Amino acid sequence: MNNVVETASGKVQGTVEEGILAFRTIPYGASTAGANRFLPPRPATAWTGIHDCSDFSGKAPQAGLRPATRPELENFSGAADPSPETEDCLTVNVWTPGCDAAAKRPVMMWFHGGAFAYGNANTPRTRGSRLAARNDVVVVTVNQRLNIFGHLDLSASGDDRFRLSGNAGTLDMVAALEWVRDNIAAFGGDPGNVTIFGESGGGAKVSTLLSMPRAKGLFHRAIIQSGAVVRLRTQERAQALTECVLRHLGATAASIQTVPVADLLAAVEPAQKALGPSPAPLFDRYPFGPVIDGDVLPAHPFDPAASDIMADIPLIIGDMKTETTSFLAVVDKVWDRSLTETEMQQRVAAIAGAHAGRVIELYGQLYPKLNPAERLIAITTDSNFRIRSLTLAQRRVALNRGPVWMYSFEWETPVLGGKLKAPHAMDVPFAFNTLDLTNATGGSPDAQALSDTMSSVWAAFARNGRPDHASIPAWPVYDTAARATLVLDKVCRIENDPRGEARRLWQDITGTV
């Protein structure tokens, strides 16, 4: 197999992994350190000779920003990437069945999760070799700037260099897509058939790209897994956060490019605390994330209506049945299911405010056999995740253009006594067919069968723009009459408007009916 490929910046040499060609950490942009910090991405510096891409060589700075979890969950998602953190982080990884330009295979381009704050594309669970081999596609995973490095809005400084600094990491995504457009044919991929997909913060990246004029024409289908974004940061809030950062560091826009990496990372949490919570917490997310600047992002992606910039793009969107079991696991009383009714009600009041009584009453009626901790998980899953996906899908459908398909992942893992049920991010190795590289499923044959199904359906969608596959029933497009939803479980099925009572309640609370 030919493992040397000519790119626009020079030749790269990959390796063979599970019978598939793998090219790790190919630069798509120049280092973002020094004078390039907080600026839009620049093209990768050309090289002579052959660039070794046989191993991962780095990821974006993020030390200290990953939230704490229970010791029992440390290895749930598999091994972490051991490569160093570096500002030279604009890289892609490519897996391909062969570097034959005439093949024109569908391209599946993954944006990793981590709330625009942490994470990377180099983990074993997102190894692209199996997805590529099983479905004859080219898989690309993307590293980009995160947190303060990708989203510190210095546009009010008066220095025109920083005009787009709040969206530096957002522009990295466009640069990665442009790299695919210009280079992927040499890796056997079709630049005219690119599907972007991602989970959690990666789904948020997909949501964001769907509303970016600069990304138009660079991708052709989209999948959002547990990461729907309705609103992003306003410029006023972004600039207020920047003021908090500068005060904390005792720095100015003129000096901040020389502040050490560790000091910038250490400023993130104090600045976010000083800024305070968003006035619209159910929809506004990501203190350090994309900003509505009137240029890179002209408006919120799906508020007050869906962006029409790429409304023709076919879209799959969905969530996990119990997203927040993993987040709430850090609360001992939730983990051991000893949370009292009063404690549950107090937590719901903090979320739903004046509507707390209605929420508590309905979920008590819907789930009378669940204990208070389990009802809290159901409530926070719907309020923190599902309502955003439903709102995004409903507003996209209202444009009456590109088709939308809705799913709900409901297979429950037996590990750790089954406490996690169907938690946030467990679907990632199902999509990549890498369950054995994690500790998420206990080797369940049901899980492997579902992984075979999910990865095949995702690839069929990437190939044809429709998620038609023999392993699932016919999957109708989503509309606001039937609300047909594919349930991914031991036996996959179609349900119309699952948990409709809860949907109607949260739509009423959020004014998104």
- Check: CB of residue 111 under 8 Å from CB of residue 197: yes
- Check: CB of residue 197 under 8 Å from CB of residue 108: yes
- Check: CB of residue 190 under 8 Å from CB of residue 104: yes
- Check: CB of residue 39 under 8 Å from CB of residue 161: yes
Of all helices (H) and strands (E), which one includes residue 397?
A: helix 387-397
Q: Which two tokens stand for residue 466?
A: 């429709």
Residue of 199, 323, 374, 412 marked active site:
323
- Check: CB of residue 144 under 8 Å from CB of residue 289: no
Is 323 among the catalytic positions? yes
| Number of C-beta neighbours around residue 270 at 10 A | 14
β-strands 315-320, 404-409: how paired?
Answer: parallel
- Check: CB of residue 226 under 8 Å from CB of residue 202: no
Burial status of residue 361 (CB atoms within 10 A of its CB: 0-12, 13-18, 19 or more) = exposed
Q: Letter for the amino acid at 206?
A: V
Coil, helix or strand for 444?
Answer: coil
Residue of 151, 300, 424, 469 marked active site:
424
C-alpha 78: how far from chain center: 18
β-strands 15-17, 105-111: how paired?
Answer: unpaired
Coil, helix or strand for 265?
Answer: helix
Is 112 among the catalytic positions? no
Strand partners, 59: 85
- Check: CB of residue 179 under 8 Å from CB of residue 205: no
Residue 20, phi then psi, degrees to nearest 5: -120, 145
Residue of 200, 307, 455, 456 marked active site:
200
Which residue, among 458, 413, 415, 425, has the nearest Cα to 320 in the 3D structure? 425
Catalytic sites, residue numbers: 200, 323, 424
